[in-house]
Amino acid sequence: MGEKRTQTDSGSSSSSLSILQDDQEGFSPTSSKALVLVQNAPIVSSYNERIRPMLDAIDKLRNLLVMDEGIQLPTIVVVGDQSSGKSSVLESLAGISLPRGQGICTRVPLIMRLQHHSDPEPELSLEYNGRVEHTDEDNISEDIMNATNLIAGDSKGISDTPLTLMVKKNGVPDLTMVDLPGITRVPVRGQPENIYDQIKDIIMKYIKPEESIILNVLSASADFSTCESISMSQSVDKTGERTLAVVTKVDMAPEGLLEKVTADDVHIGLGYVCVRNRVRDETYEEARAIADRLFETDPFLSKIDKSMVGIQVLADKLVQIQAASIARNLPDIVKKINDKLNSYLSELN
């Protein structure tokens, strides 16, 4: 616990770049290999081997704070109104427990790196304020809450200093996502008056860059057209071409959902996936079985096309979207880094 971060990050900068350069040739957006991978990818694991090095390179660049130099990285950003179920969706994807509940729960950006590994024993670590803490599935939720309290104070305030959670686990999809605080209009006791503006600023910072993929989490019972998260994502992505919707809590409002997701009044370019997350103390296996049964047997939910329901569908979609985004953006990222490097070198000379 509390192990100090060593030189690993800075020491890896040149290898990150060489990974980028090597893969850039093998996986440029126009290369036929890239297109075949992106179009025909039935199995997540077949992607993982191909995508992993590039995703690692992107994550190393993230740790090297290249974003502070104005270089944007492809990132899946999870947004939604408060308690819409954002953290629950990430829990379902990772099969681990995150802090979730009523009222404001996520108070700092949580960068979650999921990485499949063959060892049956999961490995979890939490990085913040320059240190790395090793943890496990039983303690992760509490460790995140403690780290959040250290960063954002122990009342209900928020902060834009991120926490990074690394999850190496057998069978998880290779994805890096950022979970953000939910949007709320009305400050509760202990929150500053301008809480809405603070949350909005954090969200906008993450979703504005063209390289970001917006994962918009909507509760099934909500009127999508009045969701704050929809108006925020529409303000930066008018056509919806980089927005994917996840509809949660389908168990609570199944009626009329099919009509809502097929009408697509709010222009979601990357489509909808409907999910039922784990609730209370269900195990992940129980939750998955309940969700599967619901989508098979519920008179309303069973009518929704199977390509639009379930966590597995969501995982497959996200992996494909992430791969395409990295492939599309990588050449430009390498170019921007080289340009920066050259300008710093010429300043030095």
Ligand X SMILES: Nc1nc2c(ncn2[C@@H]2O[C@H](COP(=O)(O)OP(=O)(O)OP(=O)(O)O)[C@@H](O)[C@H]2O)c(=O)[nH]1
Residue 109 touches which of ligand X, Mg ion, none (Cβ within 5-8 Å per kind): none
**Cβ distance to ligand X smaller for residue 83 or 320:** 83
**Cβ distance to Mg ion smaller for residue 142 or 259:** 142
Give least dist CB 91 to ligand X, A. Answer: 7
**Cβ distance to ligand X smaller for residue 26 or 190:** 190
Q: Which of 84, 164, 216, 243 binds ligand X (CB under 6 A)?
A: 84
According to CB under 5 A, which residues from 180 to 209 bind Mg ion? Answer: none
- Which residue number has the CB closest to ligand X? 182
Residue 252 touches which of ligand X, Mg ion, none (Cβ within 5-8 Å per kind): ligand X
**Cβ distance to ligand X smaller for residue 84 or 115:** 84
Q: Tell me if 229 contacts ligand X by CB under 6 A.
A: no
**Binding marks (x or -) toward ligand X, 251..290, rule CB under 6 A?**
xx-----------------------xx-x-----------
Q: Tell me if 24 contacts Mg ion by CB under 5 A.
A: no
Q: Tell me if 233 contacts ligand X by CB under 6 A.
A: no
**Cβ distance to ligand X smaller for residue 135 or 148:** 148
Q: Which of 16, 48, 75, 88 binds ligand X (CB under 6 A)?
A: 88
Q: Which of 64, 73, 105, 323 binds Mg ion (CB under 5 A)?
A: 105
Q: Tell me if 17 contacts Mg ion by CB under 5 A.
A: no
- Parallel, antiparallel, or unpaired for β 175-179 and 75-80? parallel
Q: Which of 106, 125, 198, 325 binds Mg ion (CB under 5 A)?
A: 106
Q: What is the 3-state secondary structure (H, E, C) of the chain?
A: CCEECCCHHHHCHHHHHHHHHHHHHHCCCCCHHHHHHHHCCCCHHHHHHHHHHHHHHHHHHHHCCHHHHCCCCCEEEEEEECCCCHHHHHHHHHCCCCCCCCCCCCCCCEEEEEEECCCCCCEEEEEECCEEEEECCCCHHHHHHHHHHHHHCCCCCCCCCCEEEEEEECCCCCEEEEECCCECCCCCCCCCCCHHHHHHHHHHHHHCCCCEEEEEEEECCCCHHHCHHHHHHHHHCCCCCCEEEEEECCCCCCCCHHHHHHHCCCCCCCCEEECCCCCCCCCHHHHHHHHHHHHHHCCCHHHCCHHHECHHHHHHHHHHHHHHHHHHHHHHHHHHHHHHHHHHHHHHC
**Binding marks (x or -) toward ligand X, 179..218, rule CB under 6 A?**
--xx------------------------------------
Burial tier of 208 (Cβ tally within 10 Å: 0-12, 13-18, 19+): middle
**Cβ distance to ligand X smaller for residue 131 or 293:** 293
Q: Tell me if 294 contacts ligand X by CB under 6 A.
A: no
Q: Tell me if 101 contacts ligand X by CB under 6 A.
A: yes
Output the furthest CA–CA distance in the chain (Å, rounded). 71
The site for Mg ion (CB under 5 A) is made up of: 86-87, 105-106
